[in-house]
Amino acid sequence: MSPLRIDTAEFTRRGERAEGRLELPALERLRTLLESTDGALDWRLTGRSVLRPDGSRQALLALRLDGRVPMRCVRCLEPVEVELQVHRDYRLVSSEAQAEAEDLDDDACDLLVGGRDFDLAALIEDEAIMALPAAPRHVACPIAATASGPTPADEARRPFEVLARLRGRGSD
């Protein structure tokens, strides 16, 4: 699959919109973090240009990314599907130096260096990687249901019993 490339200046100036699907096998960096390469990421990119008070124009991009990726549960070590939903807004700048100089307190959107041959697939893959959980796990993990002993919910209700067991003075 050839990488998705756009001219960010033209894309935002024209207010274009693009969308598509990237299959997980095509995303080399992401797939190394996954249990398998079954699945895809659906994406939508919207560009716009807004007039600034000084009369110049500011280029903006909005990326939406949705998908389910197979990972390994840290509790039971079985496969678990992780839902990814990324909604990110970017303000385009012309260079890394400009991004570093302007990246002070702009919480509204991230700064992104645009260009005539911008690699959109790499941006989508970067955002998917950053959205992955550090410790993926099932909502209701099968191992937690079969494990002996108190569950975290039980321990929360009886904290002093747990402390007594830890000190070696069982409450039985």
The shares of helix, strand and coil residues in the chain, as percent rounded to the nearest 5, are 30, 35, 35
If we measure between CA atoms, which residue out of 37, 46, 138 comes closest to residue 83?
138
Give CA–CA dist 45/30, Å, rounded: 20
To the question of pTM greater than 0.95 for the whole model, the response is no
- Distance of alpha carbon 147 from alpha carbon 165, whole angstroms: 18
pLDDT tens, position by position, for the chain (172 residues)? 346 899 999 999 999 999 999 999 999 999 999 999 999 999 999 999 999 899 889 999 999 999 999 999 998 899 999 999 999 999 999 888 887 777 665 667 889 999 999 999 999 999 999 999 999 999 888 775 555 455 555 555 566 666 666 777 544 5
- Residue 133: CB partners within 8 Å, gap ≥ 6? 71, 82
CB 128 within 8 A of CB 30: yes
Q: Which amino acid is at 75?
A: R
CB proximity list for 99: less than 8 A, separation 6 or greater = 93, 111, 112, 113
* Residue 73 structure tokens: 């549960």
User: Tokens standing for 72?
Assistant: 């390994």
Q: Is the dihedral of CA 23, 26, 31, 37 positive or negative?
A: positive
